[in-house]
Homo-oligomer: A and B are copies of this chain.
């Protein structure tokens, strides 16, 4: 870190305190972005292979133009009529899974998930919520409680049912198990039975359709809909948390739900919707919206304001006009092929998981025993990759997943550059994993 960055880091600790954590051993001091490229304070250029929030690329001129144009014209709230929020809602409804016809805008995915669960509880009269092991759904009190990766299992409330995510590499049913869907479903049934035994019926299944904090994972065929049916049979709604899986990320469809032919009762999204601007969504069926409105009204001061809505419209227009769903599929397939070649050369790569432009490398110190690398080792590896000029991150239940989730404008040459950087970093890492 150069002197000014080091000084800035000290001022940051002084003013923002201990909860503000940096990525990487040497924090990255970024000052400019464009497309998939980032520049630090020393003028060094990086390839962004991590940030899905800037879904259509850093500082996309059409998004910036929409933001500036509306910000200079009017920014109020949804207690007044304004065309922008209605137009954004219409654009979304045209793309949302069948049956989802009503949009409510919030500022963050946390707020969207929090509202979704409030609605599910109010409408079903039940209190239980079903989430995955090592899930992440937000940082409000409610959504943090629903994030089993965020606190010790001993503190889980009795209304929480926690199920095994369909991890085919580390879970109980592998890639070659033809009964994998059934086995994961049985585990879910056990958790639901236990919830029932604790005196709670499910208000909702809250499911991230790419199981980001575990993967990215791809579920065995039939599993998602069978799980949804099981929860519905017991009186719960199905909430698809599409913060990670939505907005064309998977390359196959706009939404992860559609990949599994799932028609959720409620769908939430956030990060990619505003390309960096705080914009998020809770969308549902009209009958659910009406049943909730009988009990309660929801108003979010900033949610769906004219500026946010114009930004949201611009992001969708860019995705369409630049063919970013096709790009996620086509560049994603090429990226996968390069990653699988890479895995063949590095025993540290235990598994290649994902879809579209969201890939994870499950890294191991022992390929046979599948022993995951440690968080500290992953932190070092990510720092080595940054040193090669590529920005990545890591997640996973043990922090062992190298997370590759670039802006959707990622090109074939970017995929090649990313893989070359990971290749070089792994070569150094494998010699001396603990630095």
Whether, in the assembled complex, A153 has its beta carbon less than 8 Å from a beta carbon of chain B, the answer is no
Residues of chain B within 8 A of A275, CB atoms compared: 75
- Residue ID in chain B nearest A9 by CB atoms: B81
Contact indicator A139/B23 (Cβ below 8 Å):
no
User: Quick one: given A18-B290, A54-B75, A142-B142, are A80 and B23 in contact (CB under 8 Å)?
Assistant: yes
Contact indicator A16/B73 (Cβ below 8 Å):
no
A192 to B148, CA, bound (A): 33
Contact indicator B90/A302 (Cβ below 8 Å):
no
Contact indicator A297/B19 (Cβ below 8 Å):
yes
Whether, in the assembled complex, A175 has its beta carbon less than 8 Å from a beta carbon of chain B, the answer is no
Contact indicator B76/A139 (Cβ below 8 Å):
no
Contact indicator B72/A30 (Cβ below 8 Å):
no
The one of B30, B31, B108 in contact with A302, judged by C-beta atoms closer than 8 angstroms, is B108
Contact indicator B86/A12 (Cβ below 8 Å):
yes
A93 to B13, CA, bound (A): 13
Contact indicator B21/A296 (Cβ below 8 Å):
no
Complex copy number for this chain: 2
Contact indicator A81/B12 (Cβ below 8 Å):
yes
Contact indicator A8/B83 (Cβ below 8 Å):
yes
Residues of chain B within 8 A of A107, CB atoms compared: 107-108, 111, 278, 302
Contact indicator B289/A17 (Cβ below 8 Å):
yes
| Chain A 262-290 interface 0/1 with B at a Cβ cutoff of 8 Å (1 = within) | 00000000110001111000000010011
A51 to B77, CA, bound (A): 10
Contact indicator A111/B109 (Cβ below 8 Å):
no
Q: Could you tell me which residues of chain A, from 8 to 37, have a CB within 8 Å of some CB in chain B?
A: 8-9, 11-12, 15-23, 27-33
Contact indicator A108/B140 (Cβ below 8 Å):
no
Contact indicator B16/A104 (Cβ below 8 Å):
yes
Contact indicator A102/B29 (Cβ below 8 Å):
no
Interface segment, A113-121, A231-239, A413-421? A113-121
Residues of chain B within 8 A of A109, CB atoms compared: 301
Interface segment, A63-71, A354-362, A422-430? A63-71
Residues of chain B within 8 A of A144, CB atoms compared: 118
Contact indicator A33/B140 (Cβ below 8 Å):
no
- Residue ID in chain B nearest A54 by CB atoms: B75
A72 to B69, CA, bound (A): 13
A side interface size, CB within 8 A: 92
Residues of chain B within 8 A of A140, CB atoms compared: 110-111, 114, 140-142
A325 to B247, CA, bound (A): 44
A274 to B349, CA, bound (A): 45
* A23 CB to nearest B CB, Å: 4
* A291 CB to nearest B CB, Å: 10
* A314 CB to nearest B CB, Å: 11
A67 to B80, CA, bound (A): 23
Contact indicator A30/B81 (Cβ below 8 Å):
yes
The one of B5, B79, B103 in contact with A15, judged by C-beta atoms closer than 8 angstroms, is B103
A400 to B21, CA, bound (A): 47
* A323 CB to nearest B CB, Å: 23
* A200 CB to nearest B CB, Å: 16
Contact indicator A76/B54 (Cβ below 8 Å):
yes
Contact indicator B15/A76 (Cβ below 8 Å):
no
The one of B12, B111, B286, B297 in contact with A21, judged by C-beta atoms closer than 8 angstroms, is B297
Whether, in the assembled complex, A124 has its beta carbon less than 8 Å from a beta carbon of chain B, the answer is no
Closest 9 CB pairs of A and B: A75-B276, A15-B89, A18-B293, A17-B102, A278-B302, A29-B81, A68-B68, A141-B142, A17-B289
Binding site for B on A (CB under 8 A): 5, 8-9, 11-12, 15-23, 27-33, 38, 51, 53-54, 58-59, 61, 63-64, 67-68, 71-83, 85-86, 89-90, 93, 101-104, 107-111, 114-115, 117-118, 139-142, 144, 150-151, 270-271, 275-278, 286, 289-290, 292-293, 296-302, 304-305, 307-308
6 CB-based A-B contacts, threshold 8 Å:
A27-B80, A58-B74, A64-B71, A67-B67, A76-B276, A140-B140
